Amino acid sequence: MTDDWRSDRAEPLAVGPPRQRMTRRERARQERLRRRRRVAVIFSLTMLVVIVIGAVFLGSRMWHSLFGGAGDDFAGGGVNDVVIQVHDGDSTTAIGQTLHDNNVVANVKVFVEAADGNAAISSIQPGFYKVRTEIPAADAVERLADPDNRVGKLVIPEGRQLDDVRDVKTDAVTAGILTLIANASCVELDGDRRCVAAEDLKNVASGANLAEIGVPQWATRAVEALGSDHRRLEGLIAPGSWNIDPSAKPQDILATLISDSAVQYEAGGLLAAATAADMSPYEILTVGSLVQREATPEDFSKVAQVIYNRLDENRTLEFDSTVNYPLDRIEVATTDADRAQATEWNTYVRPGLPATPICSPGSPALLAAEHPEPGDWLYFVTVDMRGTTLFAREYEQHLANIEIARRNGVLDSAR
């Protein structure tokens, strides 16, 4: 018997389609794909490592900033002067974080502990403060508590106008709003005194885009009508206490003051009062400025009514304050030549209201313009040095009141 072993073995079965030979181009393409996948994997792993290291580093810094650690406080007198801002409602921790962000203190917790129980810090006012970088937390507390280190504090009294004014009788000069802003912007940093110049503020007032400096929409048309005269912004910066950033540009300073003033005016009811009186808010503001300059507080509401009565009867207002305004002076009695000058503000020759407010009215004067006292008066005159003012409907009575003012040395000539 023939031993044919091949006949006893199973034949191999073909599985799937027959393998095709790859072309050279296909092999090259697959090799490129494999290389790209390897590069992508390496890049992903590298980025993961970077993210983990960054998270650990930042987490460590934040932990030490907030909770401190051994030696987490600066020593010495600091490196550079710097101005920081305390915002309204800032807690001690928030102030500490601001200081840390500006490299003033080494961590927040040490500052909070140093400030604990300090009445000046717990009652600190919003504003800007000069401190130094890299100083001990206790030193930072002392500097913030020292009122001499508060900078950028601006106080605008009621009735001020943009420009300085001179009293004709005493020759005394009263600083205008632009000068007050310039003075408030001064700060000495590392021995270098820096101030925003009043002239730079004036240039911005003359030529800046109205939207960019915060002029409210209800004032835009009247402001545009003045062209490049810097007085176009008169009255749009409200009196009161303000905080300005000494490091800000002139345009930014004016924009902040004007936009915040608009909010203040509107919150006081200016828009509603204008609607009720069928006037523009800008006109009400202008009336308030006239009231501020022409009357004492006890007579504000009566003088406001005189203004509205004269406007209703199409009479010129004939206020000496509007004559003096563009002349940048204070003078009770104006001359015939003064009253004859044709300016945008002279209400002896210009019908209706002056082109702009003639000062920044305080809340009482503006409230009087919004809510005048009912009456039929058309005339008023101050008759003594105490500010006593007499009101009249008829011109004959007004002439008699003027004679009283003359006898008391208040007036040399009639309105």
CB 311 within 8 A of CB 290: no
Over 80: is that where the pLDDT of 272 sits?
yes
Instruction: Calculate ∠ Cα 177-179-185, nearest 5°.
Output: 105
Over 60: is that where the pLDDT of 140 sits?
yes
CB 360 within 8 A of CB 289: yes
CB 105 within 8 A of CB 154: no
DSSP letter at 104 equals: S
| pLDDT tens digits, 185-222 | 999 999 999 999 999 999 999 999 999 999 999 999 99
Tokens in use for 106? 């080494």
Helices (H), 68-133: 92-101, 108-115, 119-122
User: What is the separation, in whole angstroms, between the first and last Cα of the chain?
Assistant: 154
Instruction: Calculate ∠ Cα 239-241-245, nearest 5°.
Output: 115
How far is 384 from 366, CA to CA, in rounded Å? 25
Buried b (16+ CB within 10 A) or exposed e, 116-125: eebeebeebe
pLDDT at 335: 87
How far is 97 from 90, CA to CA, in rounded Å? 10
Over 50: is that where the pLDDT of 414 sits?
no
Tokens in use for 100? 């840390």
Which residue bears the tokens 């106008």? 161
CB 292 within 8 A of CB 359: yes
CATH topology of domain 80-151: Dna Ligase; domain 1 (3.30.1490)
Other Cβ atoms less than 10 A from the Cβ of 370: the count is: 22
**What average pLDDT does the segment 323-333 reach?**
84
How far is 26 from 176, CA to CA, in rounded Å? 84
| pLDDT tens digits, 233-262 | 999 999 999 999 999 999 999 999 999 999
Q: Give the start-end residues of each E strand in 87-211.
A: 127-132, 150-151, 153-156, 165-167, 173-174, 187-189, 192-194
Q: Among 149, 72, 146, which Cα is nearest to 105's?
A: 72
pLDDT at 50: 58
CB 156 within 8 A of CB 177: yes
The burial of 61, by beta-carbon neighbours within 10 Å (0-12 exposed, 13-18 middle, 19 or more buried), is given as: exposed
Query: What are the start and end residues of each CATH 3.30.1490.480 domain in the chain?
Result: 80-151
pLDDT at 334: 83
CB 203 within 8 A of CB 188: no
Which residue bears the tokens 């095709």? 20
Question: Can you tell me whether residue 51 is helix, strand or coil?
Answer: helix
Helix axes 363-370, 300-312, angle to 10 degrees: 40
Helices (H), 190-319: 198-207, 217-225, 250-267, 270-277, 281-294, 300-312
How far is 371 from 305, CA to CA, in rounded Å? 9
Q: Pick 220 or 382 by higher pLDDT.
A: 220
Q: Give the start-end residues of each E strand in 37-80.
A: none
CB 406 within 8 A of CB 412: yes
| pLDDT tens digits, 278-307 | 999 999 999 999 999 999 999 999 999 999
| pLDDT tens digits, 20-70 | 556 666 666 667 667 777 766 676 676 776 565 655 455 545 545 445 544
